[in-house]
Amino acid sequence: HYSFFQGNPRWPPSKTRLTYRFEANYPTSAIPPVARAFQKWDAATRFSFAQVPTNQFSDLVIGFFRGNHGDGYPFDGRGGTLAHAFAPTDGRFHYDADESWSIGSVPGSFDLETLALHEIGHLLGLDHSSVSAAIMFPTFSDGEVKNLHPDDIEGIRVLY
Ligand code: TQI
Ligand code: CA
Ligand code: ZN
Ligand code: ZN
């Protein structure tokens, strides 16, 4: 079953359009899988998402960082934490640049789109789920590709 963060933080109900941009040194190969993840959340919720240029204001900001990168949650090299995102309405979503990233299922690598689906869930206000097929379930392996599950969609619909 889905869950929310302490105090149910969420985007203001009037805010249905959320913009996102990439920051700093991101691989351009990450743009299409991240865009697909936003499209899937877009189709399943009241939100619409639009990418804006790197130098413009946006609600959500996506970056690739290694080690200590100034937000108090240092990455840990290969293994361990893969990515993190903050609860509403912070908007920051970081990938660990030291991980091996892939597009689709590649043993030993992590699928950029599946990670984005999970971290966008956090950006929107979902915490972890007890449903093993849910994107918000707290276990994820290399080579695994997952999709949004009715439990994730129900969680977002209840929150908003
Ligand atoms: N990163 C953790 C995660 O995204 C970071 C984290 C732990 C977190 N608790 C949180 C972020 C609460 C926001 C709110 O869950 S991770 C998984 C999972 C990670 C973990 O790199 O360990 C997935 C990334 F859920 F399988 F454990 C993606 Cl799917
Ligand atoms: Ca790591
Ligand atoms: Zn970070
Ligand atoms: Zn998580």
Question: Does residue 119 carry a catalytic annotation?
Answer: yes
Block mean pLDDT (10 aa), the chain, length 160: 98 94 94 98 96 96 97 97 98 98 98 98 98 96 97 96
Is CATH 3.40.50.720 the classification given to domain 17-159? no
ipTM of the complex: 0.95
First-to-last alpha carbon distance for the chain, in angstroms, is 17
Q: Quick check: 102 and 82 in contact, CB under 8 A?
A: no
Q: Quick check: 92 and 55 in contact, CB under 8 A?
A: no
pTM: 0.97
Ligand 2 center–CA 14 separation, angstroms: 36
- DSSP letters of the chain? ---B-TT-----TT--EEEEEEESS--GGGHHHHHHHHHHHHHHSS-EEEE--TTS--SEEEEEE-S--SSS----SSSS--EEEPPTT--EEEEETTS-EESS--TTSEEHHHHHHHHHHHHHTB---S-TTSTTSS---TT------HHHHHHHHHH-
Nearest-atom index, ligand 1, CA of 82: 21
Q: What is the pLDDT of residue 160?
A: 94
Q: What is the pLDDT of residue 6?
A: 97
Q: Quick check: 117 and 41 in contact, CB under 8 A?
A: yes
Q: Quick check: 30 and 23 in contact, CB under 8 A?
A: no
92 lines ligand 1 (CB under 6 A): no
Ligand 1, residues 3, 98, 118: which to mutate, most atoms within 8 A of Cβ?
A: 118
Q: What is the pLDDT of residue 57?
A: 96
Ligand 3 center–CA 105 separation, angstroms: 25
Distance of alpha carbon 140 from alpha carbon 144, whole angstroms:
7
The residue extents of the domains of the chain are 17-159
Q: Which of 23, 113, 119, 144 is catalytic?
A: 119
Q: What is the pLDDT of residue 25?
A: 87
Q: Quick check: 143 and 127 in contact, CB under 8 A?
A: no
